[in-house]
């Protein structure tokens, strides 16, 4: 999914689970309320967190928009709306023209080149671009290390 992404060094799935910690060193007496039986046991305190496992698009650096021209913001908006899992976009100039409302392919190209100059995107292959996950990312709750 993120293999080959120049922005990401390591990607691996992780899960959050129930974590129990022993409280105190000495055993405590517990009573089974149903049977009345008394036992010595270790007292545990646990926490369990439930995480949203749905897909998401996370925008990490909204300040980048201030440094962009209106053309780059329009192309960036198209990119975010078409962002694939793993941080890349299949870039279609005709579709982008319709999305942005621009009349010329040159306007879209200028916006895309400005995004590349700001290191928001890097070309993956013809028609495909990596998107910098320091700025925006779409995926599941993946853990990854990012190249700074």
> What is the reported pLDDT for 138?
80
> What is the reported pLDDT for 105?
93
| Cα diameter, the chain | 81
Span 13-30, average pLDDT: 61
Give residue-wise pLDDT tens across range 53-112.
555 677 777 788 888 999 999 999 999 999 988 788 999 999 999 999 999 999 999 999
Collapse the DSSP code of 24 into the 3-class scheme (helix H, G, I; strand E, B; otherwise coil) and give the result: coil
Whether the per-residue pLDDT at 37 is higher than 50: the answer is yes
Report the alpha-carbon distance of residue 139 to residue 146 in Å, rounded.
15
Give residue-wise pLDDT tens across range 99-123.
999 999 999 999 999 999 999 999 9
Report the alpha-carbon distance of residue 39 to residue 32 in Å, rounded.
8
Whether the per-residue pLDDT at 133 is higher than 80: the answer is yes
* Local confidence band at 1 (pLDDT 50, 70, 90 cut-offs): very low
- By the 8 A CB rule, do 37 and 31 touch? yes
């Amino acid at each position: 999914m993120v293999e080959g992404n120049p922005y990401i060094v390591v990607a691996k799935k992780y899960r959050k689970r129930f974590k129990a910690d022993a409280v105190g060193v000495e055993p405590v007496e517990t009573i089974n309320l149903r049977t009345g039986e008394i036992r010595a046991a270790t007292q545990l305190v646990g926490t369990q967190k439930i995480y949203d496992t749905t897909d998401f698009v996370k925008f990490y650096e909204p300040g980048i928009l201030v440094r962009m021209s209106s053309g780059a913001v329009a192309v960036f908006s198209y990119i975010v709306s078409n962002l694939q899992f793993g941080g890349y976009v299949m870039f279609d100039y005709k579709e982008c023209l319709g999305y942005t409302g621009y009349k010329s392919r040159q306007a879209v190209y200028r916006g895309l080149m400005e995004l590349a100059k700001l290191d928001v995107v890097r070309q993956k292959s013809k028609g495909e671009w990596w998107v910098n996950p320091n700025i925006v990312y779409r995926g599941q709750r993946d853990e990854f290390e990012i190249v700074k």
